[in-house]
Structure 1
Amino acid sequence: MAARPLIFNIQRFSTHDGPGIRTTVFFKGCPLRCAWCHNPESQSFSPQLMVDEDRCVSCGMCLAACPQGAIARGADGCVRTDRAYCVACGACVDFCPEDARELAGTPAPLAAELADRLLADRMFFERSGGGVTLSGGECLAQDIDYLEELCRTLHDEGVHVAIDTCGFAPRGHVERLLPYADLWLYDLKALDDEVHRRTTGVSNERILDNLAFLARSGAKIEIRVPVVHPVNDGEEAMCALAAYVTERVGTPRVSLLPYHTTGTGKYRRLGVDPGQEGFRAPSAEHMDRLVKLLAEQGLTDVELGG
């Protein structure tokens, strides 16, 4: 039996993860540590407790519920969680009357059961030309037997399947999903390997190799570029990316995704330092310049914030 990964969200009626109306499954766990990540709860392969201190009224209902004794009331009367003792069991979540506690990451149902749940939205897929998108975290870092069964079932039911990936995965995982994936939403963060290592924690060699393999295999690819100042928003870096894409992939649709800070609060709820000082969102004028620049390089199908 295929192992079941963790899921931290299933988003219905999504319009930003491929064509039409889609249901997007967000798997938990990613091999990258992008310094600008706006979904930090997606990174760990283990469940994590998120605490919204702004919602907490320090009622104390969670204290008795915690089997680890990780929750205590401070001298100021406020209830706090000691992350050193918390094992993210989730026992405190159901006892919070203010919904200030949330467990990020729960075991996925069996692949066949998840497919049935996703197929409940088939009517919306068919009417809009939509389907199911597997995302993350990094979906390709999950158990490949589980993913293959899920994708094969959806494919056999005539559902459009999109894979949203950073590309850092074993080639065998890509090969096994290739027959069932109708679209690959492929992230390119930085072509300079040193920059990529410094800002994501891994080399981009495997990512670029898998992208070239997909292109050679005739897969339908959409390139997604998170635009982050000062990481990759310079004209020189963008021209290099355009040259690489046109040479290795052709002229696919490109989505430029401007950096934003909406995920900053999630770091606080996880009890970790966001460490995002120095990053800035590019201006609307700069994004327009990048679109024109890509068009000059032959990439004319470009959208902002897709």
Structure 2
Amino acid sequence: MRKPLILNIQKYSIHDGDGIRTTVFFKGCMLNCWWCHNPESQKYTPEFMFNQELCKGCGYCIKNCPHDAIVISGEGIAVTDAHKCCLCGTCLDYCPYNNREIVGKEYTIEELMKIIDKDSRFYEDSGGGVTLSGGEVMTQDMDYLEELCRCLKERDYHVNIDTCGYAPTGNFERLLPYVNTFLYDIKTLDNRKHIKYMGQSNELILSNLEYLADHCANINIRIPVVEPVNSDEDTINAIIVYLKERIGIVKVNLLPYHNTGSSKYEKLGRQYPAEELHVPSKEHLEKFKAMFEAQGFINVKIGG
């Protein structure tokens, strides 16, 4: 059993399911969505994040780096050489401004359950539970995930999995007995657009969704609405027809695009790829909601 990397454990969450929840974010995803608001979740390895706006060039990190991986740039900013840095974390202890971070930490199942169990009373009182998110949950070590889900089920915790669907079908088969709800992303049925904006074909995603529907899984469809990727009526109508004919009348969340995660790309030393993408108008979202409702979808919500 290999311990996957976890980048965040968010307590008292009121998103990604009913009630008060603990959301566990796993690191690593096979998609590369242009607008991803958690880019630190994409790679399966630990990563260094640096907020240069907070750096004062004091040099404490340089003096204490055991690998001589940090220098002061001409702008007076501490710059880390990725080829020399081994992510030991020593510099984090000596930065007085807390502008350095390493994302991705291993937890044993026992360690993770101790954290989750602390809020069991909140789950019971609010009708909440635990949400496994990412990155992509369904591409992590399945022995670890199945054991984790078994432990959650033994405690009668309500379990949601937030997934993009791009993972081996056998992984869904293994976790199906333990999961109460799959929060399943659909971006577009247009495979060419999917490859362009998400980096992979949507064929496996749709096949897995159909597998879950055929096995009577509880499915909550979540559609990130991004202009101009999928913000037109034809795209939304195609999704409506597909769901109605193949998946069924399920809960739908229309999630408007936002760029609140754009600053993370700079911290990771990457360029934000979604500069030309835009937030859909409120009028558009209300119209899409009405389109779903006109076709018999009775539980449609704008937002998470």
**Equivalent position of 2:43 in the other structure:** 44
- Structure 1 position 295, deviation (Å): 1.4
Tell me how many residue pairs correspond in the alignment: 304
Residue number in structure 2 paired with 1:238: 236
Distance 1:99 1:39 in 2: 20
Name the counterpart of 1:214: 212
Shift of residue 297 of structure 1? 2.5
Alignment of 1:99-178 (within 5 A): 99-107=98-106, 109-178=107-176
Residue 89 of structure 1 deviates from its aligned partner by 2.9
Match of 1:266 in 2: 264
**SS of aligned partner of 1:179:** helix
Partner of 2:25: 26
State whether structure 2 residue 55 is matched by structure 1 residue 78: no
CA RMSD of aligned residues (A): 1.1
TM-score by length of 2: 0.97
Match of 2:202 in 1: 204
Q: Contact between 2:222 and 2:253, CA under 8 Å: does it hold in 1?
A: yes
> Alignment partner of 1:178: what SS?
helix
Gaps of 5+ in 2: none
**Alignment partner of 1:199: what SS?**
helix
Deviates more, 1:56-65 or 1:27-36: 56-65
Runs of 4+ in 1 over 4 A off after TM superposition: none
Q: Is the 8 A contact 1:162 1:183 kept in 2?
A: yes
Once the two structures are superposed, the pairs formed by residues 266-305 of structure 1 within 5 Å of their partners are: 266-305=264-303
The question of whether the paired residues in 2 share the 8 Å contact of 1:253 and 1:301 is answered with yes
Aligned partners of 1:200 and 1:180: how far apart in 2?
A: 28
How much does 1:286 deviate? 1.2
Q: Check conservation: 1:144, 1:173, Cα contact below 8 A.
A: yes
CA contact (8 A) 1:71 1:80 kept: yes
Q: Using the alignment, how far apart are the partners of 2:211 and 2:132 within structure 1?
A: 20
Corresponding residue for residue 66 of structure 2: 67
Give, as a single letter, the amino acid of the residue that structure 2 aligns with 1:46: T
Could you give the per-residue CA deviations for residues 262-298 of structure 1, whole angstroms, max 9, x where no partner exists?
0010001111101212100001111111111121232
* 1:78 Cα offset (Å): 2.7
Q: Which amino acid aligns with 2:191?
A: D
Q: CA deviation at 1:175?
A: 0.6
Counterpart Cα distance in 1 of 2:279 and 2:179: 32
Q: What is the CA distance between 1:97 and its match in structure 2?
A: 1.0
1:238-278 deviation digits (Å, cap 9, x = unpaired): 00001111112211110011000100100011111012121
- Go from structure 1 to structure 2 and tell me whether the alpha carbon gap of 1:222 and 1:76 turns closer, same or farther (over 3 Å shift): closer
Structure 1 gap ranges (5+): none
Distance 1:78 1:125 in 2: 45
Secondary structure at the aligned position of 1:246 is classed as helix
Give 2:8's aligned residue: 9
Shift of 1:77: 3.0
Q: Is the 8 A contact 2:56 2:76 kept in 1?
A: no
Q: 1:71 to 1:237 in 2, by over 3 A?
A: same
